[in-house]
Amino acid sequence: MQPDLQGLKITKGELKHLSGVSVDTVLKPPTLPKFVAEITKTLLIIILISLTGFVLLQVFPEHIKLLIAIPSILAITLFFNDIRKIAISRKCKNLIRLFEDVNRFNRVIQAININDKIEAVGNPGVALTNRGQVIQALRLTRDDIIRALKTERILRENDKFIKCNSELFDNNLMALTALQVSDQATEHGRLLNEALQIVVDVQQEMRALQNRHS
């Protein structure tokens, strides 16, 4: 990865640090069909564990207590883990949408990285023009996403948002818009517009959060 891309990607560890919620503890999207699908999958796993325990019990009847206790503990753990995921997902719907924006942002960085590798092996025709503009747009986008994650956490962890912290809602949207190019057919134009769209989505989430806590 080229130096100007290093450090741009938002990692799972950084997400957990900023939001206080691990990506792996929520269900995406946080909808009823997703919840039902997750519970169904867990029930199938519990049934499989139970059948395995039953077969082992026929082979090792002298270990009946152990072969009943282990599957039971696993089943209870899986069930309560699903309940916890559903509860967190319902509480953190806005955060999950920001997680999805982060995924889109990271995919743009990965696309540029792959393009760089293709160029490095002898394909100069795929080089990004105005690369500096693209990287600057990504940096501005990253700043807005991080600000949104921090603000969402404040709103989620406090029933009444302290209005004097309005500076958290400052954003780089105008600066990013100024960088947007009109030629969307070019690769760098596509990447700039993708970065802009992510910021627009993040700002919509921010406004929704403000309205909910106003």
Question: CA 111 to CA 108: how far, in whole Å?
Answer: 5
Q: Which residue has the higher pLDDT, 91 or 165?
A: 91
Predicted TM-score (pTM) of the model is 0.68
The answer on pLDDT for 152 being more than 60 is yes
Q: What is the mean pLDDT of residues 114-126?
A: 79
Sequence-distant (≥ 6) Cβ neighbours of residue 93 within 8 angstroms: 30
pLDDT band at 14 (very low <50, low <70, confident <90, very high): very high
Residue 24 — pLDDT band, cuts 50, 70, 90? confident
Instruction: Give yes or no for a contact between 205 and 148, defined as CB atoms under 8 angstroms apart.
Output: yes
Per the CB < 8 A criterion, the answer to whether 161 and 107 are in contact is no
Confidence of residue 181 (pLDDT cuts 50, 70, 90): very low
